[in-house]
Each structure stands twice: as structure tokens, then as C-alpha cells.
Amino acid sequence: MVPQTVMHSLVSYARAKMAEIAAGNLTRVLRPTARGDGLIVERGGKKLISFSCNDYLGLSRHPKVIAAAIEATKTYGAGAGASRYVTGDNPLYGEVEARLARLKGTDGAIVFGSGYLANLGIVPALLGEGDLIVGDEWMHACMHGGSRLSRAKIFLFRHNDADHCAEILARERANHRHCIVMTEGVFSMDGDRAPVKRLAEIAKQHDAWLFTDDAHALGVIGDGKGSAHADGAHGQVPLQMGTLSKAVGAYGGYLCTDADTLELVRHRARSLIYSTGLPPAALGAANAALDLIETDAELVAKPLAKAQLFTSALNLPAAESAIVPVMLGEPKRALAAAQQLEEAGFMVVAIRPPTVPEDTSRLRVTFSAAHDDADVLRLAETLRNLKVVTP
Ligand SMILES: *Cc1c(COP(=O)(O)O)cnc(C)c1O
């Protein structure tokens, strides 16, 4: 074997950088985790009840979803073979897109390789130099990524502060050509909802296009239709993006919008054009899962109900989504709490900077339709006994 060439400057840079990260208790470890039945996960030989998956409806393990994935693989193979524009536009895309559009009540939808890729593609497809983005300060990393790629000027408004958003628009809008106002429908690390209706009104007043990232809203709020429906703003959000990898239980990202905008995004989104199509299994699974979201209202209502059972057991403010943060401040405290929960048989992952702002390290607890109420209450009890929650 030929020994690998070591670039000393590279290695010493990597070591110094990692020492900095370790000093801040911000080391990240990949831990092989087998999601057996989706709820009980196996890690390091231990079985834990997961309160950390985004599989809010348990659909990644639904027999119909698994069967559809297998069927798609048998029919079309394991990989797409090429970009959608070459030979990767599997017929299942059309079905998934039609379902998404129907669920959201838009002209159409376009499916991307992932939610991350969707955001990297959509924003630069619509905005460029001389344009403006006004976004919630807590918006997801890939919304920042897409924004920066677009070269538009970016201003952030205080989290969920629609007045601050309006203030920035009043000051900046006239100096720019086109403008997108960006928010998450349900915030991924805090579980709170954006004031979508209010933002839609403000955006409209300033001729700005509201863009919502519904990664954690689809399948969970607004009868599964997401944040615009939940906030009574149906038909008022021109750009509704989301993912097929959370409540839908599969993989892929999407944009739901009007026919003309869709056509433009299809022509300009580089992450769509220059990236291979999804594995057919992901499309088959998404199709079956979206069918369940459309038709099984009882299932869709469950994750929020479980989250609210948890918040009421701990006298916390009522959950607004399937995500409940338990704030701990220092990264060390969050890690210690996660460790203690693990010893009690629960998996609840600690979230630290840079994923969340400094001094807001936390446990991020997520709820699934598949959780037993008894386990939800036992987790609440355990947290109370750990004294990490002070009601
Ligand atoms: C998870 C997430 C994404 C990325 O979606 P993937 O399909 O996992 O790439 C985008 N936005 C938000 C708010 C998310 O939470």
C-alpha cells in the first residue's frame, strides 16, 4: 500500500481548529443508531425510546410506505441514474408533485433532492444582486445558505417579530428590486410557529414575496397542510418550501407555488438541474406517505397532542408543534441532561451552538404519533426528577 501523503499545514490547521471546538464543549460525535421500529433506537448496545426523530407520524416505518419503497426499487432500480433533466425524471415524481400541490392548494410543486438542496436552489433562482432578503434571525442554516448564494442583500429581523420585519422593509425595500421575506413555519429548534398571516400582510404591502420553510409543519399542523393553513393564510404565501424527510418519512425537498414561478424555478435552480434525481424508493415512499397524510386526519392530529400532553405535565407553555425545547443554557448542562436521560432509557439529543444561539443549549424533544402516552408522561416525570425543568 502506498502511504497517504500528509499535508502538514492541513493537518495542523485541522488539529488547531478542533482544539478550539473541543474547548467550547462543541465536539460532535457520530453515533451509529439503528432505528429498529422507528421509536426504539439501538445505540451502543442499548435500546432507548427516541424523542429525537423528526419522523413525526412514524411513516418511515409504515407498512404501506415501506411496501411502496420496495415496489419502486423493484420497478425502477436503486438509483435515478442521472439528473431529472437527463433520464432521472422517474414517473413517480409527477405523482408526488401532484399530491403536494393538492395538499397545499397550489398550482403545482417541484421536488428537489433534499430540503437543503431546495433552499440552495430556490432563492438564487429568484433573486440576485440588487435584490433584498428579510429573514427571521433563527431561520435554518440552508435558508442562510440559499440567501448567500443568491448575492441578494440580507437583513435579519428579531425572531417572530413581524413589526421589526415591517420596519426593515419600510427602510430598505425601495432601494432594492425584488424582495423575499423568509421564515420557518415551525421553528426547528424551538417548535414555535411564525406569525405567517401577519408576515403575509406585511410582505404584500411592500411587494415582497413571502417564503415559508415548512420542514416541521407539513403533516403536523393545519390538518397536515402546514403553516399557511394553520395560521389562516391559505393562498397568501406564494413560496412554500418543505421537505419529504421529516413527517413524510422519506427523503427529498419541495417547493409549492404558482405555475409561472414554478416554471422559472425549474429552469434556474442549479441544485435541481445539476444534481442526480432521487432514488425511486424515496419517491415511492413519499407517495404512500402523502396519501396517508391526506386521508388520515386522526394520525395527523397525534404528534401535536402528544407534545401538548408533555408540556401540560410539566406546566410548560402549550406546545405549538411536535417540537418542545427544554432550555438549559450551557452546552455542558445540556449534554449532562441528555446523558442522564439516556441512563433512564430515553434518547433526547442535546442541541448546542452553532445550531442554536450562545447560552441557549437545550434538549430538543420531538413527539411522534407512535409514542405511547405512558412513555411521554414518564419522560416528563424523569425530567422533573432531574430538576432540569423548573416549572
Ligand atoms: C431539516 C430542515 C431542512 C433540510 O431538509 P432536508 O430534507 O433534511 O435536507 C430545511 N429547513 C429546515 C427548517 C429544516 O429543519
Cα 71 to ligand 1 centroid, rounded to whole Å: 26
Q: Is 227 in the pocket of ligand 1 (CB under 6 A)?
A: no
Mean pLDDT of 289-294: 98
**pLDDT tens figures, 99-126:** 999 999 999 999 999 999 999 999 999 9
Mean pLDDT, the chain, integer: 95
Which segments within the chain are labelled E, that is strand? 33-35, 40-43, 46-50, 108-112, 132-136, 153-157, 179-184, 209-213, 239-243, 253-257, 323-329, 346-347, 350-351, 361-366
DSSP 8-state class, residue 124: H
Confidence band for 43, pLDDT divided at 50, 70 and 90 = confident
Do domains 26-55+297-385 and 61-295 share one topology? The answer is no
Q: Which amino acid is at 258?
A: D
Cα 241 to ligand 1 centroid, rounded to whole Å: 10
Q: CB–CB of 273/80 below 8 Å? A: no
- Give the angle subtended at the CA of 323 by the CAs of 256 and 245, to the nearest 5°: 40
Q: Is 220 in the pocket of ligand 1 (CB under 6 A)?
A: no
What are the structural domain ranges in the chain?
26-55+297-385, 61-295
**pLDDT tens figures, 60-83:** 999 999 999 999 999 999 999 999
**pLDDT tens figures, 213-223:** 999 999 999 99
What kind of fold does domain 61-295 have according to CATH? Aspartate Aminotransferase; domain 2 (3.40.640)
Least confident of 32-36, 55-59, 169-173: 32-36
Res. 285: pLDDT tops 80: yes
Confidence band for 386, pLDDT divided at 50, 70 and 90 = confident
pTM of the model: 0.95
Q: CB–CB of 389/314 below 8 Å? A: yes
In 3D, which of 254, 214, 263, 204 has the Cα closest to residue 101? 254
- Give the angle subtended at the CA of 112 by the CAs of 107 and 118, to the nearest 5°: 90
Say how far apart CA 336 and CA 388 lie, in whole Å. 10
Q: CB–CB of 249/289 below 8 Å? A: yes
In 3D, which of 171, 251, 234 has the Cα closest to residue 200? 234
Point out the residues that are catalytic.
54, 140, 184, 188, 213, 216, 246
DSSP codes, 224-235: TT-HHHHTT-TT
Say how far apart CA 228 and CA 249 lie, in whole Å. 21
DSSP 8-state class, residue 244: S
Look at residue 391 in the predicted model and tell me its pLDDT: 46
**pLDDT tens figures, 141-166:** 999 999 999 999 999 999 999 999 99
With a pLDDT cut of 90, the percent of the chain lying above it is 90
Cell of 23: 474547548
Length of the chain: 391
Determine the residue of 96, 142, 251 to mutate for testing ligand 1's pocket, defined as the one with the most ligand atoms within 8 A of the Cβ atom.
Answer: 142
Residue 139 sits at φ, ψ, to 5 deg, of -60, 155
Look at residue 6 in the predicted model and tell me its pLDDT: 83
Confidence band for 389, pLDDT divided at 50, 70 and 90 = low
Highest mean pLDDT among 12-26, 260-274, 374-388: 260-274
Say how far apart CA 262 and CA 242 lie, in whole Å. 15
Q: Answer yes or no: CATH 3.90.1150.10 is held by domain 26-55+297-385.
A: yes
Spatial neighbors of 201 by CB under 8 A, at least 6 apart, are 236
Spatial neighbors of 318 by CB under 8 A, at least 6 apart, are 308, 311, 312
Q: Is 113 in the pocket of ligand 1 (CB under 6 A)?
A: no
Res. 296: pLDDT tops 90: yes
Say how far apart CA 257 and CA 121 lie, in whole Å. 14
Task: Report CA 49 to chain centroid distance, whole Å.
Answer: 21
CA 4 → CA 13, 14, 263, distances in Å?
A: 18, 17, 48
Cα 331 to ligand 1 centroid, rounded to whole Å: 23
In 3D, which of 180, 179, 181 has the Cα closest to residue 195? 181
Spatial neighbors of 359 by CB under 8 A, at least 6 apart, are 329, 330
Mean pLDDT of 281-305: 98
Res. 206: pLDDT tops 80: yes
Look at residue 390 in the predicted model and tell me its pLDDT: 55
Label residue 5 exposed, middle or buried (CB < 10 Å: 0-12, 13-18, 19+).
Answer: exposed
Q: Is 289 helix (H, G, I), strand (E, B) or coil?
A: helix
Look at residue 286 in the predicted model and tell me its pLDDT: 98
Q: Is 302 in the pocket of ligand 1 (CB under 6 A)?
A: no
Look at residue 26 in the predicted model and tell me its pLDDT: 85
CA end-to-end span of the chain, whole Å?
61
Helix (H) / strand (E) containing 56: none
